[in-house]
Amino acid sequence: MCLACCDLFGASLDRMTLWDRIPGALATACAKCDDGDIDRYVSLVLSHIKADASRAARHIDIAALLYQASTKPASWRQGLVRYIATHDFSIVSYARRAWEQTKADRKDERVYKTGGELSTGEIVEKGGRANG
């Protein structure tokens, strides 16, 4: 969910507040969805980060979460919300690290196409051929 939030973070918001706003979104949604309503939980999180509804509807991770949660019993969904509420610092910490890796991977994909320096420091030519 947190990585999806990074992708869907509202254009009207300052991206410098990304890691301040996402934990707030999780906490707010947990407080309002202790009944395990994952659909509402996701809606509240996305609303808090001012995600574009059409982009969110197409986001594969959001769709997967909603589908998977819909196949689980209510007790499981309630447990998920409780888990998020009680492990928020760890979740955000792991998500932040994963987001940094995602950004590096995306940068490397662009570098393979255009040429330049990879996150490993290796220099590649346009098309992905290593220099040297």
Structural contact between residues 128 and 35, judged by C-beta atoms closer than 8 angstroms: no
Determine which helix (DSSP H) or strand (DSSP E) holds 104, and give its type and residue range.
helix 88-114
- Tell whether 33 and 52 lie within a shared domain: yes
Per-residue model confidence as pLDDT tens digits over 101-131: 998 888 888 888 888 887 788 887 877 666 6
User: According to the model, what pLDDT value does residue 128 have?
Assistant: 63
Domain region containing 11? 2-86
pLDDT digits (tens, 9 = 90+) for 51-94: 999 999 999 999 999 999 999 999 999 999 999 999 999 999 99
The residues pairing with 28 across neighbouring beta strands, listed in sequence order, are: none
Question: What was the pLDDT predicted at 36?
Answer: 94
Bridge partners of residue 82, in order along the sequence: none
Q: Quick one: 97 and 55 in the same domain?
A: no
Higher-pLDDT residue of 123, 7: 7
Domain boundary at 49, 68, 86, which? 86
In this structure, are 50 and 102 located in the same domain?
Answer: no
Which residues lie below 8 Å from residue 118, measured CB to CB, with a gap of 6+?
108, 111, 112, 124
pTM score of the predicted model: 0.82
CB atoms within 10 A of CB 29: 24
Residue type, 28: T
Please tell me the distance from the alpha carbon of residue 57 to that of residue 17, in angstroms, as a whole number: 23
Q: What is the pLDDT of residues 15-61, one digit of tens each?
A: 999 999 999 999 999 999 999 999 999 999 999 999 999 999 999 99
